[in-house]
Amino acid sequence: MAQTTTLGAITQPAHPVRSRTWLAVASLWWRELVRFYRQRSRVIGVILSPLVFWLVIGSGFGTSFRSGSAAGGQHYLEYFYPGALIMIVLFTSIFTMMSVIEDRKEGFLLSVLVAPISRSAIVLAKVLGGTTLSAIQGLIFLVFAPAVGAHIGGAQFGLIVLITALVSFCLTSLGFAVAWKMESAQGFHAVVNLFLIPLWLLSGALFPITGASGWIRALMLANPLTYGVEALRAALFPAMASPRFPLGSSIAVLAVFSAVVFAVAFLLANRRSTKPAA
C-alpha cells in the first residue's frame, strides 16, 4: 500500500504543473487586456490615428488616384481601407509590447521570471494578449466597411477574423522579439521607426505593387506583411482580388511567417544570459 502511495505521489504532479502553467498563461493574458483598456488614451489613439490617416490621405488623393487594373480602378478610400485596418493592428501591437519594457523597469518581469513557471508560458501569454488586443482593435474598424462598399457576410467575416488574427499574431510576436532585448522605450521606438513602420509602408497599404519601381517591387514581394494586406483586401473586396496574390497562398505565407517569428521570440526569451555577474 505504501509503495502504491509513493508511486502515486511521484506521478501525480504532472497534472498540477500543467494546470499551473495554463493558469499563469491565462492570468498574464488577462492582465494584458485589462492593462491596455485601462489606458484610455492608448485605446483612443490606436483607433483615431489610422482613422485620420485613412480619411485625410484617402480624401486627399480621392479621384486623382486610381489603383490600376489590379484593383479594378478603386477609389483611394477603398484601396487604403485594408491598409488602415492593418495600421491599427500594427499600432496596437507596438503599444502592447512596450509593456515588456515597462514590466522590466517596474520589476514585474523579474518576479514572473523567478516564479515556478516556464518562460514559454510568459512568451505565449504576452503574445496571445497582444494578438487579442490587436485583433479586437482591428475588427472594430470594420464598422466603417459599408462606407467603402464592403458588405460583409458570415463566411466573409470569419475569413477576415482569421486574417486579422494571423497579422496580429505575426506583428505581436515580432514586437515581442524586438522589445525583449530592449532596455528603454526610446530604443524600442527607434527600432519601430526604422523597421516596423517601413514594413507597413512597403506592404501595399499605400500604393499597389504594380506601379512600384523594380527594387521597391522586390522588397514588397519579400515583405510578409504584403500578403496579409492583400489577403485582407481580397476578403473585403473579392471582385478586386489581385491574381498575383491568391487568397489561399497569401494566408499560407502569413501563417508560416507568423510561426517563424513566434519561434524566434520563443528562443530569445528562453536563452539565458551569459554575462558575468557584476
Lowest mean pLDDT among 81-85, 148-152, 198-202: 148-152
Question: Which pLDDT belongs to residue 39?
Answer: 73
What nine digits make up the cell of 101? 519594457
Question: Between the CA of residue 56 and those of 4, 65, 77, 96, 128, what are the distances in Å?
Answer: 73, 14, 9, 26, 32
Tell me if 161 sits within 8 A of 89, measured CB to CB.
no
Percent of the chain with pLDDT over 70: 79
- State the sign of the Cα–Cα–Cα–Cα dihedral 9, 12, 16, 17: positive
Question: Which pLDDT belongs to residue 277?
Answer: 37
Tell me if 225 sits within 8 A of 209, measured CB to CB.
no
Question: Which pLDDT belongs to residue 55?
Answer: 74
The C-alpha atoms of residue 247 and residue 67 are separated, in whole angstroms, by: 19
Locus of grid cell 521606438: 189
Q: In the chain, what are the domain boundaries?
A: 19-270
Three-class secondary structure of residue 123 per DSSP:
helix
pLDDT class of 116 with cuts at 50, 70, 90: low
Using alpha carbons only, give the angle 7, 11, 15 rounded to the nearest 5 degrees: 150
Global pTM reads 0.80
Residue 139: pLDDT over 70: yes
Residues ≥6 apart with Cβ < 8 Å to 67: 73, 74, 76, 79, 208
Three-class secondary structure of residue 39 per DSSP:
coil
Nearest to 130 by CA among 96, 159, 81: 96
Residue 50: pLDDT over 70: yes
Tell me if 126 sits within 8 A of 28, measured CB to CB.
yes
How many Cα atoms within 13 Å fall on the side-chain side of residue 213? 2
